Amino acid sequence: MQTISELMAQYPLQMKSIKLISDKGKKATWSLETSEGSKILKKAPVSKQRLLFLIQAIKHLQQNGAPIPEMVATTTGTYYSEDSKGSCYVLSDAVQGTSPTYGAADLIVIMKELGKFHMASRGFYSQHQSANEREHLGGWQQSYIKHLDQLEAFKALARSSGEFDKLYLLHVDHFIDQGKEALRWIQGSYYTDWVNKVRVQRNLCHQDFAAANLIKSKQGLVIIDMDSLTFDLPARDIRKIFNKVMKKHGWSSDKAITMLKAYREVHPLSAEECSIIYADLMFPHLFYGLSSKYFNKRLEWDAPQTLKKLKSLIMSDKERQQVLASWSSIIQQS
């Protein structure tokens, strides 16, 4: 591991041992034992400018109480090292613990921590702005329209002879109708008002605030993997964790109340703002994601697995619609 040894020479510590955790080319992670304790070295899958934005955002979050592992500075004072090929790396303290579950007790902790994370992100301004911000704020309408147009276009690509294609053609219009309803919601003033509010507050979203990126430690929940930080409404993160939890364990009004109530205890949301969460949950993000991978030939699974995933999405949609139909009651009880 000559390259890693050279990288570690940029830090004020000595490396004792190293273990590769994962390597996906652009993104890699190592576990290290050093003279200053256990560390995690990550190869950043982003440009240097984007990384500078992320580092600045992480420092802001930490200063406001977000439980993110401390980054180790190099001997020159930067929070990243660089190899001869221009790839950048970040060294952080290792955290001992386990991933949380989506059981009721852990879910409450996760949602409260998400609310605290959003509160801690407020007021962040970067010296490394422009395209490096990955800002989604105010862009939902264009995104919804683009994805709905693609769902329509996939119809022409669907070959009625294949099982996936047949099932897609049978159900796609139903999901498109859901997307159109969601679009109508965000074309109203509630979405615009919240966007204008967040333009002032400067809210950051994690984009994958899920069990795989959280560690239950003795000190509490710790947040990792900040590669996708973006400016947007808190609703973006809330929708993503809702979809992740409900997809895994089934849609449930009780679960929705538990999650939303825990979040609102630390990060208040108005009924109008909760209606925008409803709209984003109504949009068929998961159906679009699977369809896009299938028709654009970016599948990560074989044909039987892909078909199984589509059937599962269709089967769970009735439950999803039942939960969304009771959204007003969910807001009142949370």
Q: What is the pLDDT of residues 149-171, one digit of tens each?
A: 999 999 999 977 789 999 999 99
In this prediction the pTM is 0.94
> Of all residues in the chain, what percent carry a pLDDT higher than 90?
89
Q: How many residues does the chain have?
A: 334
Average pLDDT over residues 112-126: 97
Average pLDDT, the chain: 95
Find all residues with CB under 8 Å of 140, minimum gap 6, and list them.
186, 191, 280
Delimit the domains of the chain by residue range.
Answer: 2-93, 104-333
User: Which residues is 28 bridged to in the sheet?
Assistant: 23, 43
Instruction: Give 130's pLDDT tier (boundaries 50, 70, 90).
Output: low
pLDDT of residue 3: 80
Average pLDDT over residues 116-139: 83
101 pLDDT higher than 80:
yes
Average pLDDT over residues 205-215: 97
129 pLDDT higher than 70:
no
Backbone angle region of 19, left / alpha / beta, with phi > 0 → left and psi within -120 to 50 → alpha: beta
User: Which residues is 216 bridged to in the sheet?
Assistant: 98, 221
Pick the CATH number of 104-333 from 3.30.499.10, 3.90.230.10, 2.40.50.1070, 3.90.1200.10: 3.90.1200.10
Record: fold of 2-93:
Phosphorylase Kinase; domain 1 (3.30.200)
| Cα 184 to Cα 181: distance, rounded to the nearest angstrom | 5
pLDDT of residue 134: 61
pLDDT of residue 300: 83
DSSP per position, 38-61 = EEEEEE-SS-HHHHHHHHHHHHHH
238 pLDDT higher than 60:
yes
> Of all residues in the chain, what percent carry a pLDDT higher than 70?
98
pLDDT of residue 127: 80
| Cα 146 to Cα 137: distance, rounded to the nearest angstrom | 16
132 pLDDT higher than 70:
no
Strands (E), the chain: 15-23, 28-34, 37-43, 81-82, 88-93, 204-205, 214-217, 220-223, 230-231
Q: What is the pLDDT of residues 48-96, one digit of tens each?
A: 999 999 999 999 999 999 999 999 999 999 999 999 888 999 999 999 9
